[in-house]
Amino acid sequence: MEEVIRARGHEHVSAKHASTFEVTSDDWLTPAGDCILAIDADRTPADFDEAFVEACQSHDATLEATITVSNGDETYEQSVVGRGHPDLTFEGDRSIVLRTSDYTDDRTGMVGAEHAADGFDRDLVAALAAGGDVTFTLSVEPAGE
């Protein structure tokens, strides 16, 4: 199962945060938002299908977030694997945050991520900072499958 969000990069994307990365529906970004990879998202976790949410609500669920950035003739893609958690609600109506820790709130879309914003390829980050078109795909392999 998967959920797809379309968004765009922004000149202030720096991807320097060491414990999270985020995609937001806000249409602006300040330099302080060093975990935010993309803005102007067309969907938020609150839009996700109930069956998808339920599949993510297990410590044993494997989640994979894939960021694809298209900037002219160049396309960059990187995936991050993490896991689900019983407290994932996907009720956030503004952004999705993927975390290296086990912390959860209504915006959390993954815990135990392999890396945070600072682990993204710098060419991909440069494409984000150039305002590239973003496809963010979150997929889940439910526990026991």
71-109 confidence digits (pLDDT tens): 988 999 999 999 999 999 999 999 999 999 999 999 999
pTM across the whole model: 0.96
Contact 33, 12 (CB under 8 A): yes
pLDDT at 18 exceeding the cut of 90? yes
SS3 116: coil
Q: Which of 81, 112, 98 is nearest to 35 (CA)?
A: 98
CATH entry, 2-141, from 2.115.10.20, 2.60.120.630, 3.40.50.2300, 3.30.230.10: 2.60.120.630
Length of the chain in residues, anyone?
145
* Residue at token pair 């720096």: 14
Q: Which of 10, 7, 33, 5 is nearest to 128 (CA)?
A: 10
**Residue % of the chain over a pLDDT of 90:** 95
